[in-house]
Amino acid sequence: NPLSGTFIDRVGYDVPLLIGLAVMFLSTATFAFAENYATLFAARSLQGLGSAFADTAGIAMIADRYGEEPARSRALGTALAFISFGSLAAPPFGGVLYEFAGKRVPFLVLACVCLLDGLLLLVLVPPCAGSARANMPVGTPIHRLMADPYIAVVAGALTTCNIPLAFLEPTIANWMKESMGATEWEMGLTWLPAFFPHVLGVYVTVRLAAKYPHLQWFYGALGMAIIGASSCMVPACRNFGQVVIPLCGICFGIALVDTALLPTLAFLVDVRHVSVYGSIYAIADISYSVAYALGPIVAGQIVHTMGFVQLNLGMGLANVLYAPVLLFLKNVCQMKPSHSERNILLEEAPKGLYDTIKMEERKG
């Protein structure tokens, strides 16, 4: 992610996005035909590399294209809804296709989706002109962004709020089987209902942010409180219907946090640094990756040594305790643009890569 963020800041968004889609096409096709651990390991590593480019470039492109609120929150919220759909629909999608069509079909379908997406990118997104790329503002180095206390608070919130989802995904199926005798289809469909409250959370946050943009920090804090309470409720559930309720609460809370804080990252870059978004959304992707990388390793160990109840109580407590930290962001909306870096060049200079390209086209 640090490398992809820096690369995106230097060359724009379209080329890294295309690279990411190409690498994911290759990795997904490799999954379909892999027959041993080494090949699976290589495919998984390629998938991580591809997503580092595609995810970061895609979100950064949206933030660059939609520079004003509430359009930015609405566009990022739409992207988050589709990210959620991919994550939550994947288990039943893969399970059904695997059951009726075999191992290769799910991966080949996804490889075709990557290929189609890459072709659409080539057709619909105009390539960044060389002159526009040369006139791009110089992005703030990622290490300086990570040292910004406001950005650090947001990154910490993104990591903390995703820990329950990342830690429950590898552990909840086994717990459901042992504690309530859940069937295979129940374990496979556990997360699918949570997609709908996630979309609802995105919609609610976008609407509230349009009316009360100064309360973005509060929406994030409220989301973390909901995540914390929902995490603590999971061990008390005794059947499939009951489990769905706190999982829906977790995903609703994550939607509040993500939809409120991802536009805040772009705003912080606009007012405190330079309006180039590759590195800042690389930091966001790192925050997610930390939670999901630790999930399969740490969560299983905690369940084995301390128990499933203690895992959920710990995750819930972490979110509840972190929520007040977002008070640090309360006055962010009152910040004015900084003139400390390349923004000092012209008061009316184009902001972001998209506006730079448009200015070059008008000059031409």
Per-residue pLDDT of the chain (364 residues; tens, 9 = 90+): 677 888 887 888 888 899 999 999 999 999 989 889 999 999 988 988 898 898 888 888 888 888 787 888 888 888 877 887 787 777 777 777 877 888 888 899 999 999 999 999 888 876 654 445 556 667 788 888 889 999 999 999 999 999 999 899 888 988 988 888 877 777 777 888 888 898 899 899 989 988 898 899 999 999 999 999 999 999 998 888 899 999 999 999 999 999 999 889 888 988 888 878 888 888 888 888 888 888 878 888 898 899 999 999 999 999 999 999 999 999 888 877 654 444 443 344 445 554 544 545 444 5
In the numeric block, which tokens belong to residue 353? 């890569």
In the numeric block, which tokens belong to residue 163? 């820990």
What is the reported pLDDT for 130?
A: 47
What is the reported pLDDT for 306?
A: 92
Residue appearing with tokens 């009152």: 334
Dist CA 358 CA 68 (whole Å): 16
What is the reported pLDDT for 357?
A: 47
Q: Which residues contact 175 (CB under 8 A, 6 or more apart)?
A: 303, 308
Dist CA 315 CA 160 (whole Å): 8
What is the reported pLDDT for 128?
A: 56
Total-model pTM: 0.81
Dist CA 84 CA 66 (whole Å): 21
- With CA atoms as reference, report the closest residue to 257 among 214, 282, 225: 225
CA 199 to each of CA 36, 151, 221, 256: distance values in angstroms, whole numbers, following the listed order: 38, 25, 18, 10
Positive or negative: CA dihedral 156, 206, 53, 94: positive
Amino acid type, 62: I
In the numeric block, which tokens belong to residue 267? 């705003």
Judge whether 284 and 145 are in contact, CB under 8 Å: no
In the numeric block, which tokens belong to residue 59? 């979100």
Dist CA 342 CA 326 (whole Å): 29
Q: Which residues contact 308 (CB under 8 A, 6 or more apart)?
A: 171, 175, 179, 235
Dist CA 119 CA 158 (whole Å): 32
Dist CA 31 CA 37 (whole Å): 11
Peptide bond just before 70 cis, omega within 30 deg: yes
Dist CA 218 CA 208 (whole Å): 11
Peptide bond just before 213 cis, omega within 30 deg: no
Dist CA 358 CA 148 (whole Å): 30
What is the reported pLDDT for 221?
A: 96
245: number of CA atoms within 13 Å, CB side? 11
Dist CA 2 CA 53 (whole Å): 10
- Which option is the CATH number for 2-363: 3.20.20.100, 1.20.1250.20, 3.40.470.10, 3.30.70.2190? 1.20.1250.20
